[in-house]
Chain A
């Protein structure tokens, strides 16, 4: 198993550009989440999904969209990037309640 994979590893965007951060898992996990990590703020939940076709907002959802058309993939879309979205983004997945949450290696995003 590859576990949780994220692409790209690093991306530079200009303000106003759009992009999609990819996240995939090959463990057949139902639950998937997106977090952003900023210095001094820990990880904050952006969006999460409890299964294909089901998504919900986390703590900081503004400026981000998600969809979950398959169990394996959970892309995060930035519609119009802003400098405040400069961060490291982590995707995570787990099988079900009370199971371990596995994190991807992260995507480092810089918005100029």
Chain B
């Protein structure tokens, strides 16, 4: 069975600083990988996804993520954080076929002026 680890429960960054949120997965084959964002009291919104091909994936809101098979990682990055990026971010993995999606426990991002 697949699993996801988000080692950072809470991260604080200054507005305008760069951001990297870590995600490590466990799965025997090449997985489907996702990053979602959740604002307080809201549902989840997909930021980006990786299924195959180019290992650097561009998403919405200026986010990108890089799939590194050798490190079993799919870290999310943004070069310059805005106050509106404060939210909770979830990494998720699914086997090929995409039937069951497993989510990490989330990383809560705080943005300070």
Q: A: which residues have CB within 8 A of B?
A: 4, 33, 35, 40-45, 48, 50, 56, 58-59, 90, 92, 97-98, 100-101, 103-106
- Contact, CB under 8 Å: A43 / B90: yes
Task: Known A101-B46, A105-B43; judge A42-B105 contact (CB<8 A).
Answer: yes
In the complex, the answer to whether A45 meets B100 with C-beta atoms within 8 Å is yes
A42 touches B98 (CB 8 A): no
Q: List B residues at the A interface (Cβ < 8 Å).
A: 4, 9, 32, 34, 42-46, 49, 51, 90, 92, 97-106
Which residues from chain B contact A4 at a C-beta distance below 8 Å? 43
Q: From known contacts A98-B51, A100-B49, infer whether A45 and B43 are also in contact, taking CB-CB under 8 Å.
A: no
A43 to B9, CA, bound (A): 14
Contact between chains at B44 and A33 (CB < 8 Å): no
